[in-house]
Structure 1
Amino acid sequence: MTRKIFQSMIAVVVSVLLLSLALITGVLYEHFESAMLDQMRTTASFVEQGVKEDGMKYLDEMSSSQCRITWIEADGTVKFDNRSDPGTMENHADRAEVKEALENESGTSIRRSSTLSEHTLYYAKRMQDGTVLRLAMSQRSVLFLMGGMISPVVFIFLAACALAGVLSYRVSKKIVKPLGSIDLQHPEQVETYDELSPFLQRIAAQNREIRSQMEEIRKQQQEFSMITENMSEGLFVVDRNYQILSYNRSAVRIFGMAPESVPENLLAVNRSEGFRSVVDSALKGRHAQENLELDGRVYQIIASPVCQQEDALDLVGAVILTLDVTEKEAQEQYRREFTANVSHELKTPLTSISGIAEIIRNGIVRPEDIPHFAGKIYDESQRLITLIGDIIKLSRLDENQVPMERESVDLLETARDVVQQLASVARKNGVTLVTNGSHGVVNGVRQVLGEMVYNLCENAVKYNRPGGRVWVDVRQAADHVELCVKDTGIGIPAAEQGRIFERFYRVDKSHSKAVGGTGLGLSIVKHGAALHHATIHVDSEPGEGTAITLTFPAG
């Protein structure tokens, strides 16, 4: 700004100097011309008086005069000229100054010569005898006069420019100094030119508005960061060139990246075809989603395009959301397997019942065999009722619809009741049931706890060998209660132990058909343990038996 002010002031000074020089030269030129004309009038009066007194003799004496003197007859014939021979001169009757003098007693004219850079001033006066006395003087042109003055003019001009430069520099610095000292953060507190006050007040108002907007932006950014950083879902925000603009900690964790080495390009985060396809679709303006398996877990990748306006096609980027759907996928798989297993388990007894009923309807059964077939129908019906009952129990446990009236339950007393209920089944299978331990009280749902112990003991009896034993032990500790059901049965292979609590899963399917059951008992135990915040531990060896331990928080 200082430079511009300096240049402007110098330009003004130079322009003023040049204009002043031109005006002064013009004024002086006009003054000199007027003075010369007055001098010629005076000289003409003297010459007229001399001619009256001495005639031609006086004019001869004026031959060396600086003025050119010409005496002209009324008809324009030249009688005398102190510079030329009158006989060789042409008639002057058509000269403007001569005509004017004959008419008005005096006349003037100026004839300019561009080649000689001068002009001639003529003054003519009519004398009493009718003749005309004319005087002529040459005068240099303005340009010639200025050319002659060039040296002093240039010196004066340069001196004036130098002085103007120094003064302009100091003045421009002085003008700019208050502007340079303005505090843009608090412009209203600065003392400067009155003309700048509206401008500074506007800056102050804009500063307040900007601070308010920035504070609002910071607040929104903090809220956004707080929300995204506490999300369990992974989040990426990218531009149209796949460059990562924002991400959260969950995204870093899910994709196994180090927080300090997150790549700039999203495609470097995961190079799988499915991931790239989802991102490409979003950056083409289409919502897309895909499941991706990472480190044994299943994640759903949801990509949505981001546009400047809702109806605009000008994409600015995309939002990539990563959800952990491992449990959801597992539940969906369990649901499909459960549906298939239930269909199979229901179909078997229903087919048997339908077949027996068809035989009886067709009269093929002998009267003495009807009780046998009726018994088969009853057994299959009971199997159906038991299966449906177990399914209902599981459904209620899944949906937390069991009666939640908790009370203090003694597991040793519960175990004794269960052993008494299974005594006849144990005798039939040649298995001895024994209850040991101390009283252990837990806070829980009595019905569910009873079903859990019953299912564990029933399995221990069914999958035992003739002459085998089953021990039900209860132990009270300081902060927990343990219930262990141990048998001398067929045992469970280590590879199968992780699946025995799945619905309808059977380790030995051929043996399971022989002993019956719905295949839902251990699933009920698992859900009941979750309801009571208990843990399950399985210890088993094929051919040596199984021990399943439930650990409950002390009631």
Structure 2
Amino acid sequence: MSDMATTDTTPTKDARARRPPSLARRFFVALAVLSAIAAAAVLVCSSLIYQSASVDDAGKMLERECRIVRSALSGSDVGVMRLTSFASQDVRVTLVASDGNVLYDNQNNVAEMPNHADRPEIAQALQTGAGAAERDSETSGYVSIYRAVRLSNGNVVRLAVDRDGAMTAIKHDMLLVCTVVAAVVLLCWAASRLVADRLVAPIDAIDPADPEPHSSYVELEPLIERISDQVEELRGADLMRREFTSNVTHELKTPLSSIQGAAELIRDGIARPEDVPEFAGRIYDEAHHMTELVNDILTLSKLDESERSGDQSLLGSVEPVDLDRTVSEVARRLAPAAEAAGVEITATGESCVVRGMPHLLDELVYNLCDNAIRYNCEGGFVDVSARIEDGRPVVVVADSGRGIPAAQQGKVFERFYRVDASRSRDTGGTGLGLAIVKHAAMLHGAELTLDSEEGRGTTICVRFPAESLVSTLGE
């Protein structure tokens, strides 16, 4: 065949119709919609503010007029006759007796008016000498503003005026709103078209048929790679947040159930008097556990936020810290807990000053030692030391506990992970201690190593970088 069939690659009208909007058009639509919403919101808020200011001004005006009326009627026994001189078409004037009966109203027939003793402004004026109230009318769209004062003879004079309500004010400004929104949309259309065309032009200029479409646009490659990496990071962070929320919920559910059960037994009188101290102690222990959990969660949240933002100031200032003094202080604080568990804790080492965050370094050493005590055996030991090895500051915590199976050693620094989940409630702890240790070590550029064998104990070593070492505390 001399003539080869060719395929028409020109997009059909239907295919073009099914294409998503161009990037430039999306820029335009987004800017136009946002600008219109912003303009409408600003004008609506302005109308609300204007209406509020109008109500305030009217209230102050009525207060001044009330004082004038009270002065004019002071000592007068013919209040109704005198009130007619203050009557006007805009301001409503009402005279109310001390028992709430209406004696005079310049806009209504007093014979048809109900007792006004229950009106807030009247009741307040009868009690304190002056009253104020504002009431919205859902049918008329107005706000009625009331101010009342008590006269020397015990009667109450009330002045009232109506002002446009919020919705009425907005309706009045609707033409202005529409005009401004249309003007803003037109301006944004012109600006967005210009900006969108300039932003999208380099991408539109790429020829899909070019075997090397980025010979002239190499700057797009790192951008695309960075976006892909960020998407993966966001997916990982979202998964971690969901797992963390699920774990926190699980950890809080048990102590809350225990507290609720013990409290119900005490509340309903089911618990015997001699058992009440035991239930109260259970409530205290579970509440203490939840407090520790919340404190650890807050610490981890600060560590996470510091890592994401790169702002270490969220965790405190960096200053010289003597690791030997830190391990000695931690051992002293944990001595009562170790004694209660039948474990001996000792601190050894040499002066070892590093630049770091005192609170975090204390948390790091404390959590390592506390974990070693909790998962030890009666009659065992915990030895914590700080020293310098090969020019690097090192903290070592060794114990004679049950040890960690080899298959689980890579998971012990994960949040809420416990080697022996069946004994987690007996040993206490929040399951976050070693996770805090991992993040605190990373923040200080330290390396964590774990050496453990079942039945022979565990040794965890934290090696700080050599540049973190300082010679003296004053340096």
TM-score by length of 2: 0.50
Q: Within the alignment, does 1:539 sit opposite 2:445 as a pair?
A: no
Q: Within the alignment, does 1:554 sit opposite 2:469 as a pair?
A: yes
Q: Aligned AA for 2:265?
A: I
Q: Within the alignment, does 1:372 sit opposite 2:278 as a pair?
A: yes
Higher RCO (CA < 8 A, seq sep 6+): 2
2:325 is matched with 413
| Paired residues of 2:303 and 2:315 also in contact (CA < 8 A) | no
Q: Within the alignment, does 1:394 sit opposite 2:335 as a pair?
A: no
- Of 425, 428, 433, the match for 2:340: 428
Mapped partners of 1:540, 1:503: distance in 2? 19
- Of 210, 214, 218, the match for 1:246: 214
Q: Cα 1:244–1:466, aligned 2, differ >3 Å: closer, same or farther?
A: same
2:316 is matched with 404
Equivalence map 1:265-280=2 (5 Å): none
Q: Kindly provide the CA deviation profile for residues 222-279 of structure 1, in whole angstroms up to 9, marking residues without a partner as x.
A: xx9xxx9xxxxxx999644584411688999x9xxxxxxxxxxxxxxxxxxxxxxxxx
Q: Cα 1:410–1:245, aligned 2, differ >3 Å: closer, same or farther?
A: same
Q: Aligned AA for 1:546?
A: T
Mark the runs of 5 or more structure 1 residues left unpaired by the alignment: 1-223, 229-234, 255-298, 303-320
SS in 2 for 1:543: coil
2:374 is matched with 462
Equivalence map 1:50-449=2 (5 Å): 239-240=207-208, 243-246=211-214, 322-323=228-229, 325-400=231-306, 402-449=314-361
Q: Kindly provide the CA deviation profile for residues 336-369 of structure 1, in whole angstroms up to 9, marking residues without a partner as x.
A: 1110011111111111111111222222111221
Q: Aligned AA for 1:524?
A: I
Q: Within the alignment, does 1:474 sit opposite 2:380 as a pair?
A: no
| Paired residues of 2:338 and 2:373 also in contact (CA < 8 A) | yes
TM-aligned CA deviation for residue 441 of structure 1: 0.6
TM-aligned CA deviation for residue 468 of structure 1: 1.4
| Paired residues of 2:302 and 2:315 also in contact (CA < 8 A) | no
SS in 1 for 2:229: strand
Equivalence map 1:518-529=2 (5 Å): 518-529=430-441
Q: Aligned AA for 1:431?
A: V
Q: Cα 1:506–1:242, aligned 2, differ >3 Å: closer, same or farther?
A: farther
Q: Aligned AA for 1:436?
A: T
TM-aligned CA deviation for residue 479 of structure 1: 3.9
SS in 2 for 1:475: strand
- Of 498, 520, 529, the match for 2:410: 498
TM-aligned CA deviation for residue 383 of structure 1: 0.7
Q: Cα 1:366–1:406, aligned 2, differ >3 Å: closer, same or farther?
A: same
Mapped partners of 1:434, 1:236: distance in 2? 70
TM-score by length of 1: 0.43
Q: Cα 1:250–1:474, aligned 2, differ >3 Å: closer, same or farther?
A: farther
Q: Kindly provide the CA deviation profile for residues 446-489 of structure 1, in whole angstroms up to 9, marking residues without a partner as x.
A: 11111110000011111111221111121124642000101111
| Paired residues of 1:502 and 1:523 also in contact (CA < 8 A) | yes
Q: Kindly provide the CA deviation profile for residues 25-58 of structure 1, in whole angstroms up to 9, marking residues without a partner as x.
A: xxxxxxxxxxxxxxxxxxxxxxxxxxxxxxxxxx
Q: Cα 1:324–1:403, aligned 2, differ >3 Å: closer, same or farther?
A: closer
Structure index of larger Rg: 1
| Paired residues of 1:359 and 1:365 also in contact (CA < 8 A) | yes
TM-aligned CA deviation for residue 325 of structure 1: 4.0
Mapped partners of 1:551, 1:472: distance in 2? 14
Q: Aligned AA for 1:391?
A: I
TM-aligned CA deviation for residue 434 of structure 1: 1.7
Q: Cα 1:301–1:453, aligned 2, differ >3 Å: closer, same or farther?
A: closer
TM-aligned CA deviation for residue 376 of structure 1: 0.7
| Paired residues of 2:321 and 2:358 also in contact (CA < 8 A) | yes
Q: Aligned AA for 1:492?
A: I
- Higher strand fraction (1 or 2): 1
| Paired residues of 1:300 and 1:324 also in contact (CA < 8 A) | no
SS in 2 for 1:399: helix
1:36 is matched with none
| Paired residues of 2:328 and 2:348 also in contact (CA < 8 A) | no
Mapped partners of 2:212, 2:355: distance in 1? 52
| Paired residues of 1:485 and 1:548 also in contact (CA < 8 A) | yes
SS in 2 for 1:323: helix
Mapped partners of 2:213, 2:437: distance in 1? 49
Mapped partners of 2:237, 2:437: distance in 1? 18
Mapped partners of 2:452, 2:204: distance in 1? 47
- Of 449, 468, 487, the match for 2:399: 487
SS in 2 for 1:476: strand
| Paired residues of 2:364 and 2:436 also in contact (CA < 8 A) | yes
TM-aligned CA deviation for residue 430 of structure 1: 1.7
Mapped partners of 1:335, 1:477: distance in 2? 38
Q: Kindly provide the CA deviation profile for residues 364-421 of structure 1, in whole angstroms up to 9, marking residues without a partner as x.
A: 1112211111111111111111111111111122223644222211111111111111
2:426 is matched with 514
- Which is further off, 414-423 or 390-399? 390-399
SS in 1 for 2:213: strand
Mapped partners of 1:512, 1:359: distance in 2? 25
SS in 2 for 1:443: strand
Q: Kindly provide the CA deviation profile for residues 520-552 of structure 1, in whole angstroms up to 9, marking residues without a partner as x.
A: 101111121122221111111222211111112
Q: Cα 1:237–1:429, aligned 2, differ >3 Å: closer, same or farther?
A: farther
Q: Aligned AA for 1:459?
A: N
Mapped partners of 1:543, 1:236: distance in 2? 67
- Which is further off, 490-499 or 517-526? 490-499
Mapped partners of 1:403, 1:497: distance in 2? 28
1:63 is matched with none
Q: Cα 1:325–1:545, aligned 2, differ >3 Å: closer, same or farther?
A: farther
Query: Percent same amino acid at aligned positions?
Result: 46
Mapped partners of 2:377, 2:326: distance in 1? 25
